[in-house]
Amino acid sequence: MSHIPLTVLSEDEQLFRESCRGFAEEHIKPLVHKMDEAAKLEHSLIPELFNLGLMGIHIPEKFGGSEGSFFMSVLAVEEISRVDASFGVFVDVQNTLVNNAVLRWATEDQKKRYLTKLARDTVGAYALSEASSGSDAFALSCRAVDQGDHFVLNGRKMWITNAVEAGVFIVFATLNPADGYKGITAFLVERDFSGFTVGKKEDKLGIRASSTCELILEDCKVPKQNVLGEPGKGYKIAIETLNEGRIGIGAQMVGIAQGSWEAGAAYAKERKAFGKPISEFQGIQFQIAETATQIEAARLMVYNAARLKDAGKDFLKEAAMAKYFSSMVAEHVTSTVVEIFGGYGYTRDYPAEKFFRDSKIGKIYEGTSNMQLQTIAKYLLR
């Protein structure tokens, strides 16, 4: 890989960023309010995301993907989240979690069967969390029993992003609870497998159009050839994939903050008080300058972690720092923008309140802020 300064994009990366922004502005932006109100993605846009290669960014060309870098996935998530965080996380889960896990851990046969679908027309989902297994990720109650040529899975998964749209799920279950994390195994589960059902869709505060659902497995039969990695290695797959996925969530938070900031800065130049635009008041100027600086710092942290990942270097600490800081920045920036809008910022007629609602999830999913701090501290003190 050529060494590109953090603040500089290659020509290909810049063109890719512009294409992502153009698509988001032209096709997603007009539907944002409608999707938020309906709590549902506009499904007609999903085939367009596949056609643009945005659902298989770093899948190799031989499997139908774009063979781009992980960094390009981060750019896509940032630019789409700048317009709509729900479609941002939709693209993020596909690329940084599902595709990434299959690329790293699947057999050649599994790659041929699933990467070609994931690049062409099939949405993926990542099913680790359970009702009593969130930050304590491996306290799984979902069981897998070996039945010779197949496994039978029983249990429930919670808060699974992309569940409504997904055709394939990476499901984590334990072979033997007594083995602790050493019993955790990952399975490639297709939506139409016997005994598999997508359950209740959650009614959420933010990223409302993104589907977040319960999964129900009742004697779900999964062929032996659908074990991802090998039995007992699911914990390793989950940890390493989530470390990469956190960079994607960092990009989502940067996108949310940037979109919110742009709306706030534009409004400050339009809104007049005491005979002049409020952007001419020093108090507003300081808020605009401070938040822009915070966004840029968060962006550089996310980009740094993504560059390190692409370079094959250790990025664990940087990924945790990027997610922790960017989610904090997104919440602060979007809250400040609500205040810049004043009373209008508290209404759904303006975009400020949606950015604010969407930002909150950043401190919660794919590892809470406290878990990121714990990871950072362990790394620094080891």
The residues near 308 (Cβ < 8 Å, ≥ 6 apart) are 314, 315, 318
DSSP letter for each residue of 103-145? HHH--HHHIIIIIHHHHHT-EEEEE--BTTBSSSTT----EEE
| 167's tokens | 């055709």
Asked if 324 and 369 count as a contact pair (C-beta separation under 8 A), the reply is yes
Report the C-alpha gap between 135 and 370 in whole angstroms.
Answer: 9
Which positions ≥6 away from 325 have C-beta within 8 Å? Answer: 250, 297, 298, 301
Catalytic annotation on 366?
yes
Quote the pTM value: 0.96
What's the confidence (pLDDT) of residue 137? Answer: 73
- Tokens encoding 206: 């933010």
Superfamily holding 125-232: Butyryl-CoA Dehydrogenase, subunit A, domain 2 (2.40.110.10)
Chain position carrying tokens 């897998």:
144
Note the pLDDT of residue 1.
36
Q: Classify burial at 37, counting beta carbons within 10 Å of its beta carbon; exposed 0-12, middle 13-18, buried 19 or more.
A: exposed
Residue that is written with structure tokens 């033997």 in the block? 176
Measured CA distances, 167 to 134, 163, 214 (Å): 24, 8, 15
Joined tokens for residue 159: 């808060």
Place of tokens 């699974």: 160
The domains of the chain are located at 11-123, 125-232, 236-381
* pLDDT at residue 132, rounded to an integer: 87
Tokens of 163: 């569940």
**84-97 b/e (C-beta count within 10 Å ≥ 16 → b):** bbbbbbbbbbbbbb
β-sheet bridge partners, residue 252:
none
The kind and range of the H/E element at 321 are helix 316-341
In the set 214, 244, 318, 366, the catalytic residue is 366
Q: What is the pLDDT of residue 7?
A: 60
Q: Under CATH, which number does the domain 11-123 receive?
A: 1.10.540.10
Are 118 and 168 contacting, i.e. CB atoms less than 8 angstroms apart?
yes
Q: Parallel, antiparallel, or unpaired for β 196-201 and 143-146? A: unpaired
- Token match 């960079």: residue? 247
CA 86 – CA 29 distance, rounded (Å): 12
Are 125-232 and 236-381 in the same CATH fold?
Answer: no
HEC string of 252-272? HHHHHHHHHHHHHHHHHHHCE
Query: What letter would DSSP give residue 202?
Result: P
| Structure token digits, residue 5 | 């300064």
d(CA 305, CA 260): 23
CB of 240 closer than 8 Å to CB of 215 = no
What does each of the 382 residues of the chain score in pLDDT, given as a tens digit? 344 555 679 999 999 999 999 999 999 999 999 999 999 999 999 999 999 999 999 999 999 999 999 999 999 999 999 999 999 999 999 999 999 999 999 999 999 999 999 999 999 999 999 998 888 877 899 999 999 999 999 999 999 999 999 999 999 999 998 898 899 999 999 999 999 999 999 999 999 999 999 999 999 999 999 999 999 999 999 999 999 999 999 999 999 999 999 999 999 999 999 999 999 999 999 999 999 999 999 999 999 999 999 999 999 999 999 999 999 999 999 999 999 999 999 999 999 999 999 999 999 999 999 999 999 999 999 9
Query: Which residues are CB-neighbours of 142 under 8 A, at least 6 positions away?
Result: 130, 153, 154, 155, 156, 157, 171, 172, 173, 174, 217
Pairing between strand 123-127 and 166-174? Answer: parallel
**Residue whose token pair is 């923008």:** 337
CATH number of the domain located at residue range(s) 236-381 in this protein? 1.20.140.10
CB 153 within 8 A of CB 97: no
Whether 103 contacts 43, CB under 8 Å: no
Q: Under a CB-based contact definition with an 8 Å cutoff, are residues 105 and 229 in contact? A: yes
**Is the separation of the CB atoms in 302 and 74 below 8 Å?**
yes
